[in-house]
Amino acid sequence: MNDIAAAVALTPASFKSGYKPIWCPGCGDFSVLSSITKALAKVAVPPEQVAIVSGIGCSSRIPAYTSCYGFHGVHGRALAAATGLKVARPDMTVLVTGGDGDGYSIGGNHFLHACRRNVDLTYIVMDNHVYGMTKGQASPTTEPDWDNKLSPGGTGIRAFHPLVIALASGANFVARAFAGDPNGTADIIAQGIRHPGFSFIEILSPCITFRPEQREWKQAVHPAPVAPTDDPARAARRIMTDDGFNIGVLYAGERNPYPLREGTPKGTPADLEAEFLL
Amino acid sequence: MSPSRKKVAPVAKAKVPDKRVATKAGAPAKAPAKRAAAGNPAAGTPRTVNEFMVLALVMESEAAQRYAEFADAMEMHNNREVAELFRKMAVIESRHATQIMEEMGWEKTPPLPVGMPTWDGFEAPETAPIDEVHYLMQPYHALELALANEQRAERFFARLARVAGTDSVRKAARALQAEEREHVELVKAWMAKVPKPDADWANDPDPPSYTD
């Protein structure tokens, strides 16, 4: 089958593995997985040319549920691993997936510098404002007054604002999506993959177990009332003044991505290893 | 051609060990952001039967996919009875999709017409919202969910039948509305055969949430 025929034949199912997700029934991450497979079918990159890298957490299980290359890495270090992969194999389409704890706390510094480097990656964060896998602790995006037994009265700490941080740090594409809108989310992910440089997509993905009140998000989200801008100042103003439920592409910049060498490396793994010999 | 989908009789007669009452699961989704053009009921309405059947195909395909996702999730949580039920629903909706493909003579899924779909909410009317399931849900809840989906689908086709700009689309919409109405009755009949859950159906003596 030639490349064109193969691309035509790609469907979301082409990107699914035989493993079944172990997430809680009702979790938003099911939809995000579906959106990722739809987006990959839309951009028509075959699974063997896609790598999905993740850290630790519920949402970081996504690589195993796809038929793409996957790397379920170290907590908070998904972006570091993905950056290395993309630089070594610029021919690959590299997606990074994870949650708010993994990406903004444990991996917070990697997040800043991945935005700054602007390597051509698509970073998909499933944000549920809680550490779900470890049973419901407050995460960087948890509201300061979220009261539970593990943080009585709330943490009192201002919530991290990932979109503003991404924009200020140099991400070239900034979007917010909602897990309850799998087709819209797939469109945004496809746009992020196609956009050169570092694309950051924050997906509001309810945790129905530890934050059941997030079921109400489906009433709160609404399409962003404005078109994407390439002006970071305007984008920053929009993002800092919106209600946190605007969904859509909020910024699509024109910064040059981190330069990558052309083509597929011709060396063998042994040649690569030799480069690191002391 | 007259669009139709053969009814598929419910095959499961679920036996549920205890008697609990539905609460969250199965409740119809509240209206999220509206996508249909306000003030113009015909906006985004299919102009041809072909376009109409593409929409119907999307509805059936997405419903089948969601039921399959639910079945997988329930299997992983060892709720086998509900998993089996969702799997059957996925098969039923897939058959509907296949029938549409065959009747229309399509070999591959055609692209959605420009400007469509225009249903209210984020997903097709027959697709159950992703968050309306629970790991302890019972067959009755799954059927409640299916009922809400079929009722939304019926309302969708009824609206299309009212606002369609051509007789052929109106006729096709009425035909599918009638089918959805039959499905509503089938699901109701099915529900009558399974026990209603108790009020405490979601109580778990070993809950996943430490913060409970």
Closest alpha carbon to A162 in A153, A154, A151, A171: A171
pLDDT at B12 > cutoff 80: no
- Asked whether residue A15 is assigned to any structural domain, the reply reads no
CB B180 within 8 A of CB B3: no
Cis ω for the linkage preceding A212 (within 30 of 0): no
CATH of the domain at A34: 3.40.50.970
Q: What's the predicted TM-score (pTM) here?
A: 0.87
- Asked whether residue A2 is assigned to any structural domain, the reply reads no
Put simply, the answer to whether A20 touches B76 (Cβ < 8 Å) is yes
- Asked whether residue A6 is assigned to any structural domain, the reply reads no
Share of chain A above pLDDT 70, in %: 96
* Closest residue, chain B, to A151 (C-alpha): B211
Amino acid identity at A108: G
Shortest alpha-carbon distance between residue A252 and chain B (Å): 23
CB A180 within 8 A of CB A240: no
Amino acid identity at A181: D
Closest alpha carbon to B187 in B158, B149, B161: B149
- CATH 1.20.1260.10 given to domain B49-191: yes
Whole-number Cα distances in Å, A202 to A74, B128, B182: 21, 24, 41
Put simply, the answer to whether A183 touches B76 (Cβ < 8 Å) is no
Domains of chain B by residue range: 49-191
Tens digit of each residue's pLDDT (9 = 90 or more) over A11-51: 999 999 999 999 999 999 999 999 999 999 999 999 999 99
Tens digit of each residue's pLDDT (9 = 90 or more) over B140-157: 999 999 999 999 999 999
- Asked whether residue A1 is assigned to any structural domain, the reply reads no
Task: State the ipTM, two decimals.
Answer: 0.88
- Give helix A182-194 / helix A29-43 axis angle, nearest 10°: 50
- Asked whether residue A16 is assigned to any structural domain, the reply reads no
- Asked whether residue A4 is assigned to any structural domain, the reply reads no
Give the domain extent around A57. Answer: 24-275
Dist. CA A264–CA A270, nearest whole Å: 16
Find which of B75, B79, B85, B122 to mutate to test the A interface (most A CBs within 10 Å of its CB). Answer: B122
Q: State the total domains in chain A.
A: 1
* pLDDT band for position B114 (cuts 50, 70, 90): confident
Dist. CA A9–CA A263, nearest whole Å: 25
* Closest residue, chain B, to A11 (C-alpha): B109
- Asked whether residue A188 is assigned to any structural domain, the reply reads yes
* pLDDT band for position B206 (cuts 50, 70, 90): confident
Entry field: residues in chain B: 212
